[in-house]
Chain A
Amino acid sequence: MRGLSGWGNYPVAQAQLLAPRSEAELQRLITDSPSVIARGNGRAYGDSAVGVPATLHMRHFNKMISFDAETGLLVAESGVLLGDIISAFLPRGWFPLVVPGTKFVTLGGAIAADVHGKNHHKDGSFRSGLDWVEVMGPDGTVRRCSAEENTELFNWTAGGMGLTGVILRAAIRLRRVPSAWIRQDTIPAANLDAAIEIFERSAAATYSVAWIDCLAGGDNLGRSLVMLGEHALLQDLSYDQAARPFAIPRASNRTVPPVFPSFALNRYSVRAFNAAYYWAGARKAGRQITGYDSFFFPLDALLGWNRIYGRKGFAQFQCVLPLDSARAGLRALLEAISAAGQGSFLAVLKRLGAQNSAFSFPMEGYTLALDFPVNRRSLQLMQDLDRITIAHGGRFYLAKDSRMSRDTLRAADPRAAEYAGMRQMSGLHPSFQSAQSQRLSL
């Protein structure tokens, strides 16, 4: 037994970490343990990939199996990191169809959370690029599922948080890209209305995301920097860049000290940081050519940034609000945050496109993601944010959640009860459970 937590270092549970190396061993662990949950690289923020008593460390299943250079179809084991896929195939002109904000997630984790990226409004979630998945069920049998085959299992597995079985292998489609560079346009938005207006008129952009100053209030409420991106074409690049369009100078990785002093993080420092970031960005507004890493994965360069929040850890809040109530809902959320003075270094606003999935997070509307150091006041604030979200017809992202209640989830998302019922009926429930699924009665 050992203390195990997600990326937010909260909550910590005593769990046994089992590290199978073969399908036979995995089969034995699934059938022998009272319940298990698969864990990839531990980047889910909360307890989605913490199984009590038993958690399956899946990183030994990390081999790439085949690649079709005509169609871009990659078959790989679930423990392969998206970063490995990018390192291997971007130099050959291929990039995953959908990437989340970190490349340090496994393929299995990306499927289980059905992650979305900055192109959700155009390309949908991770499952849009997913041809098939192989899942080991409670009896140890491996089933291939896709849109055509074992469709129900496929639909619940993408976004199913690992609760339909252990994802072993998958086939994903990569897209051809002209370079490893991104042509980025940064547009300052003075407030929330301006930000929404920019998103609505930028629907044609391949990638879009906004960094939002969640501490600004009054007329500045929702002050943001909206960033639009396109894969840079050769003619966008400088002579040197165009000569080797897939070679990007390596940025050095910086590491956060093991425990960042907690006095460094308070409402004044966070407010100052947010304001400084906004004005620095506003001054640099316009077009620039940037490496894919700094566009898609800005935080990855700061290894161990989760430790900024100190020993007690941090919690993420991420909801999506349907289009028609998004403006009012976001305003209410930002007012509550600003009034509480509870800062977030990282606040992200994103326009999501239409999606109708069995249990995946995205729906057409706006998603807001924030993180808070764990303390009594921030936990209280997040409960207030839960209520505002539900009142505006929104729902929550389970890959980020570490503290929601069962009733909150049920109130926000009618699909939760349906999912739990399906798990009971099909006998998945006794075998696959995470600390989160137990907390949320999934």
Chain B
Amino acid sequence: MSKSPVLILGARSDIGMAVAHAYAAQGRPVQLAARNADSLEPQKTDLELRYSVPVSLHEFDALALEEHERFADALPELPGIAVCAVGFMGEQGESETSPAAAAQVLRSNFEGPASILSELASRFEQRGSGTLVGISSVAGERGRATNYVYGAAKAGFTAFLSGLRNRLARKGVHVVTVLPGFVATQMTEGMDLPDKLTAQPGEVARAITDATAKQKNVVYVRPVWRLIMLIIRNIPEGVFKKMSI
């Protein structure tokens, strides 16, 4: 029996591409979905050469909500696993002063991902099987002055995934929430991140393939983040508001 394909939403991102490699290495066909999908032709060739699996490209814009239903219908085969790696950090300063910039961050990290996962969820539910993976962020666990707009969107996405998991648990569909801490990607390039807390995209990908295989619910890519966030979540608000972390 041939393996069911894996759909990567936001395939152009470093994490998305690392996830594509990880599943292709397991012999799974891959569907890469992104804006200007045609420009991913070299990545498609690379994946096919390395792993001898079929790879297809699909035009997808997370913010074009009205297209999501058509996108899901147009997939040549309903995937067994769908991984949403869509995200956009934006500039916190800009998000504070420009409503349009803030909306862009909120829509890219919450509205768009929630919309496309809803479309897929109903199809998976009907089929009675499948795994949905949402890449959220530890930034969603408590709002901080330095990135609370991004954090708020991720908080929304985390809650959405939690609810979706709850809804689909008895329908044979599994939902995984992935909480990477710092990841060395294009999005964080140039930031001064602590080495011990910073994962490589390949690590995130391994955490995801592992989580889908073992049906885990909420995954911290580096376990130390579970502890860090436990502490950060439990700092009393009176203290937290005076801190800059």
A interface vs B, CB < 8 Å?
19, 21, 63-67, 84, 87-88, 92
| Beta-carbon contact of B49 and A19 below 8 Å | no
Contact with A along B17-48 (1 / 0, CB 8 A): 00000000000000000000000001101100
Number of A-B pairs whose CB atoms are under 8 Å? 23
Q: Does B66 contact A (CB under 8 A)?
A: no
The 4 closest A-B pairs by CB, nearest first: A63-B46, A64-B49, A88-B50, A64-B46
10 contacts between A and B (CB under 8 A): A63-B42, A63-B43, A63-B45, A63-B46, A65-B42, A66-B45, A66-B49, A67-B49, A84-B50, A88-B50
Chain B contact surface mostly:
helix
Interface size on B, residues (CB 8 A): 10
Contacts of B52 in A (CB 8 A): 92
- Neighbouring A residues of B51 by C-beta, 8 Å: 88
Query: Could you tell me if B50 and A64 are in contact, using CB atoms closer than 8 angstroms?
Result: yes
How far is A92 from B52 in the complex, measured between Cα atoms in Å?
A: 10
| B189 in contact (CB, < 8 A) | yes
Render B44-80 as a binary contact track against A, CB cut-off 8 A, 1 for contact: 0110011110000000000000000000000000000
Could you tell me the dominant secondary structure of chain A's interface residues?
Answer: mixed
CA distance A64 to B52 in the complex (A): 12
A26 to chain B, nearest CB (A): 15
With CB as the reference atom, state the residue of chain A lying closest to B190.
A19
* Nearest CB of chain B from residue A3's CB, rounded to whole Å: 12
Residues of the B chain whose Cβ atoms lie less than 8 Å from the Cβ of A19:
189
CA distance A67 to B43 in the complex (A): 14
Report the minimal beta-carbon distance from A103 to chain B, rounded to whole angstroms. 15
Closest residue to A67 on the B side, CB-wise? B49
**With an 8 A cutoff between CB atoms, is B186 at the interface?**
yes
A65 and B45 form a contact (CB under 8 A): yes
A88 adjacent to B189 (CB under 8 Å): no
The reply to whether B49 and A88 contact each other, CB–CB distance below 8 Å, is yes
Answer whether A64 and B45 are a contact pair too, CB < 8 Å, given A84-B50, A88-B51: yes
Residue of A nearest to B50 (CB): A88
In the complex, chain B residues whose CB is within 8 Å of the CB of A87: 50
Q: Roughly how many angstroms separate A231 CA and B189 CA in the complex, as a whole number?
A: 44
The residues of A that contact B49 with a CB separation of less than 8 Å are 64-67, 88
Report how far A84 CA is from B46 CA in the complex, Å: 11
In the complex, which of the residues B42, B45, B50 has the most CB atoms of chain A within 10 Å of its own CB atom?
B50
Q: Which residues of A contact B186 (CB under 8 A)?
A: 21
CB contacts (< 8 Å) of B46 on chain A: these are 63-65
B32 to chain A, nearest CB (A): 13
Query: How many whole Å from B43's CB to the nearest CB in chain A?
Result: 7
With A and B bound together, what is the CA distance between A87 and B27 in angstroms?
Answer: 13
Nearest Cβ on chain B to A42's Cβ, whole angstroms: 14
B189 closest partner in A (C-beta): A19
How far is it, in angstroms, between the C-alpha of A65 and the C-alpha of B42 when the chains are bound?
7
Residue of A nearest to B186 (CB): A21
Output the least CB separation between B27 and chain A (Å).
11
What CA separation (Å) do A63 and B113 show in the bound complex? 28
Shortest Cβ gap from B202 to chain A (Å)? 11
Residues of B within 8 A of A84 (CB): 50
Bound complex: CA A358 to CA B66 (Å): 62
A84 and B186 CA atoms in complex are apart in Å by 22
Please report the C-alpha to C-alpha distance between residue A88 and residue B46 in the assembled complex, in whole angstroms. Answer: 10
CA distance A66 to B50 in the complex (A): 10
B189 contacts which chain A residues (CB < 8 A)? 19
Provide the bound-state CA to CA distance between A88 and B49, in Å. Answer: 7
Chain B residue nearest in CB terms to A75: B49
Closest to B43 in A: A63
The residues of B that contact A63 with a CB separation of less than 8 Å are 42-43, 45-46
Q: Which residue of B lies closest to A87 (CB)?
A: B50
Who on chain A is nearest to B184 by CB? A19
A66 to B45 alpha-carbon distance, docked (Å): 8
CB of B195, distance to nearest CB on chain A (Å): 10
Which residues of chain B in 157-200 are interfacial with respect to chain A, using CB atoms and an 8 Å cutoff?
Answer: 186, 189
Question: Shortest CB–CB separation between residue A116 and chain B, in angstroms?
Answer: 26
Minimum C-beta distance from B11 to chain A (A) = 14
How far, in whole Å, are A185 and B179 apart by their CA atoms in the complex? 50
Tell me which residues across on chain B come within 8 A of A65, comparing CB atoms.
42, 45-46, 49
Given contacts A63-B42, A65-B45, 8 further A-B contacts (CB under 8 A): A63-B43, A64-B45, A64-B49, A65-B49, A66-B45, A84-B50, A88-B51, A92-B52
B89 to chain A, nearest CB (A): 17
A63-B43 Cα distance, complex, nearest whole Å? 7
